[in-house]
Each structure stands twice: as structure tokens, then as C-alpha cells.
Structure 1
Amino acid sequence: MTLRKTTVASTTGPVDGSAAPIDGARRRDRANGSEPADGRRDSLDVFDVSWSVDGALIVDGVSLSAKAGSLTGLLGPNGSGKSSLLRTIAGMTRPDGGMVNLGGEDLLGMRRRERARRVAVVEQETHTDVPLRVLDVVRLGRTPHKATEHDDDLARNALNTVGMHDLAERDWHTLSGGERQRVHLARALVQEPELLLLDEPTNHLDVHFQLSLLAKVRELGVTSLAALHDLNLAASYCDHVVVLDDGRVAAAGAPEDVLVPEVIRRVFNVDCDVHINPRTGRPVLMFTPLP
């Protein structure tokens, strides 16, 4: 059975002990001295990556960086190359050129199993006809690791993180779309990744779960790159944003520096007014069609 295309889920907020799988991995790294003092172990650096189909460039010389523990938003109109870039960074498609480093190591040059231990990917959709419990789906995230007697505990803890612990024994096929999204986030977390790649994680979620999902991703402290359609969500939760247009980087930087009327008009073909949310101090964008 293959569960390759997954959807991300949202959370209802912090749960005591919920981040144990990831925090535990980092504590082990610090204890055995494998985490560099400069904090770059989990930083992501993409250098001049290109990918084409039948001679047509889909990703065209993209370079970007994501600091360790940060949430970076990957933005752009439909067809701008966001999903293709995520799949290339994950090693799911081989680039025509360029490099991808995680903590200074060549990510694409790693063996598949090693890369799967370090990178968790949550895509937009998933389909399976095999009857599975929710807990079984989450346990699939442990596949890259050697099986241990603690795998069930790790899976249940990840479900607890996303507020789905009570549904561990439910049949996967009985879940709603939003519930499946939350389960697949748990599946990604139980991998204990250093890098989390999320493709349109807020799709099919109501406002509450959109907000709580991105808040949870920030709280995890895992280097995360998320393709997002909603520019206001990116403005509210991302530490850094990268805007793609026709496969190229059109702008990159802090949300308040990038999500400005000139960039929005040029890339998204709409007018935009930018205000400041009095509660958060973050930008709020209001759009109007071009005349």
C-alpha cells in the first residue's frame, strides 16, 4: 500500500508533552554533540535549482534559504512552480541542475532512507483503498527508522499533538477531509524530521484550523517550508516569504518587506492596500481587481 500524496492537518493548540518526538530528537543531538554550535544543523539552502518537463522550465534557477527552526512561506500564483519546487527539494523529482543542502549537507545526494529520516513531506491529497486505522496511518511515518517497541507511543503522542488522540482506533476512511489533514501532519511529525515541507497545508480547513495549524508549525521549532495560497496567512505566521513567478524568485524577505503593493500587483495582477493588524503588528492585505 502506498500513501504518497498526503494532506496536512491543523491543530487545536498546544498539548502538554505534544512536541516530544521532535524535541526528543533535538535533545539527543545536543547530548551527543552532533548539533553544531552555530545552530545551522537544520538550515535549508537551495542553490540555483532548475527542473523542466519536455524542455519547458517549471523551476528556473531558484535559490532560497530557510533558517533553522523558522517557517518560510512559498508564495505565487497557480502554475508558478511552488509544488514542483517542494518536490524537487524533497528529492521526489531530480533537478536538472542546482544543489539542496540541509545543515550544510547535500540533501539530494543522500540515500533515500537517510533523506526520509530527515525530511517529512506533506502533500495536498492522499488516496488508499486499504482499510487502515488512524494509528496505522501515523505509524507509516516511522518506516524510515528501525522499528522499536516505542513506535506506538510515538504515534499516539503525534496524534495528541494535532488533537486527534481520541480517534486513534477509527477507520481512516471514516474521517473528514480536515481530520485526515491533521492525521497526516501527525504522520509527518512522527518521522522526527529536521525539515518539514508542506504543500498547501490549509486547503479544505476552516478558519480556526487554518490559524491553529500554522501556529502549531511555528511552535514546533522545525525548519519548515510551506506553499501557501493565502497571502494574509503567510503575512501573519511566516518568518520569511519567497514569492515565485513563472518558476523564478520574484521577491524574498520578511513578509512586511515583500508583501507590498508593487510586488502584489506585478506578480498577482491585483491592487493591494496594506494595513497593520493592531493585535499582532503584522501586515494585513486588502485586494481589489485591477481596472
Structure 2
Amino acid sequence: MNTNWLRRLLGDRDSLPSAGRRRPSFRPYLENLESRLVPAIMPTDLTTGLTPTNLVQTLVGTGVTFSNVTYKGTNTSSAKFTGGMPSIGFDAGIILSTGLADSVVGPNKSTGTSKGLGTPGDTDLDAIIAPAKTNDATVLEFDFVPKGTVLKFNFVFGSDEYNEFVSSFNDVFAFFLNNKNVALLPGTNTPVSIKNVNLNTNSQFFRNNALPGDVSPATPPLLDIECDGLTTVLTVTASVNPNVTNHIKLAIADAVELA
């Protein structure tokens, strides 16, 4: 079983895998056509009748038994998508967002286009970035019964808070497998957040997409996606317990450093 960010921004089928001034929100990712010869990223959010169960089905594919799907967020903060290959590195998957999932559609036209959700944060994410606290969380959870012993997934983390808010906000994504965050930078115990992956920190995993006039603008041509920065495709391999129930929690949230 495999996943992606999730298929995600999480990614392919072989993978399963604020208070005060409102800032642009970030989104785990994932293109716009606009007279292009390549397909655009095409999000479909929950306002269309798509359900959280459909999102999980997109992640796990066929032949995987899953149950107990729960979702926290809004009908506009998650989506499934196609057409992501040119921009994010895999064609189809799901989007989890702290704003509007469909705002990922490119090209990049603004340093901050999405709206916050006005929803609570997540305590598990709070623990990762303490002493900061999270808000605007979107969380998808489910149980599954794998036949094998290994789960492999690809994901991409993107945000409109690059590059100007790297020192101010520490938005974060996590993939909890049986209560352990396995969405880490390759070969490390470092979780994925804008402070941990940017132009100056772990830059080998970062793709700059900032507009001209923004902080540290990218060299054209820009990627056909709205976010100002995103990770490369990150691949995680984790052990699972075969033929018994395992639990997955995918969570993303905005965060502000406490004074």
C-alpha cells in the first residue's frame, strides 16, 4: 500500500499512502490550462457531493479495506485533483488545505489568495511545533487493514506563506500512522513545515515559486500553481501491521508563533 499529499498532495495510486491579521494559508498540493498544451490541475471539492470517504478511496485505491472515516474541516478545504504532474510531480491525488482547496489552480498571480477557515487547530500538530499553536486545521482520518507490511507514499507540501513569512509562521503538515508522524524529511526526524523547508533550510527539498517583487522571487518560468513555494515530491516508507486494523490521520494547519 502506498500514499501521497497527499495522493495527494497526497499523490499516486501506488502510494497510499488565526488570530489577528489574516495571512495567506498553505496547502498540502498539487495546474491551470489557460491556453496551455498540458493539462491543468483540476480540483473537485466537497461542495460537489464528493465525500470524505471518496477522498480516502482516492488515496488507497482498490483492494484495501478501510472504515471509520472522520473529517474535520470545511467543504471547501479539501478536494481530489487531476492534472498535477507538470507542477507538483504526480498526476492525481487529494488536497488538504487551510483555506480554499481550489485556490491551488495556477498560474501564480498573488502572494496570498486563499481565505482562512476560521476552524480550530489540532492538538497533535500543536505538539510538533510547540510552543506555537495551530488553527484552520483540516484533518482526515480512517482505519485500514493492509495485506502487506510496508506502506509507501509520496506527498508535496506547498504554501503561499513562502518566502515572506518563513520567520513568522510555522504552518505544518503531518501524516500520523498508528499515532506516529511519518511525514518527515528523508533520512531525518524533521517534520515538514515552512520553517523546516525553505530557501535557507533543507533547500534541496524546496521549489521556489515566488512572484517578481516578492521576497526572493523565483527565476522564471514559474510553476503552474498558485503557491509561492512547495517541496519536491517527498517519499516516505513506513511499516504497518498486516491483516489487522491500522490507523491513519492526515492533518494540516496554520500556525502563529507565540510571543
TM-score, with normalisation over the residues of structure 1?
0.26
TM-score (norm 2): 0.28
Structure number with bigger Rg: 1
Q: Which has the higher strand share?
A: 2
Structure in which a larger fraction of residues adopt helix? 1
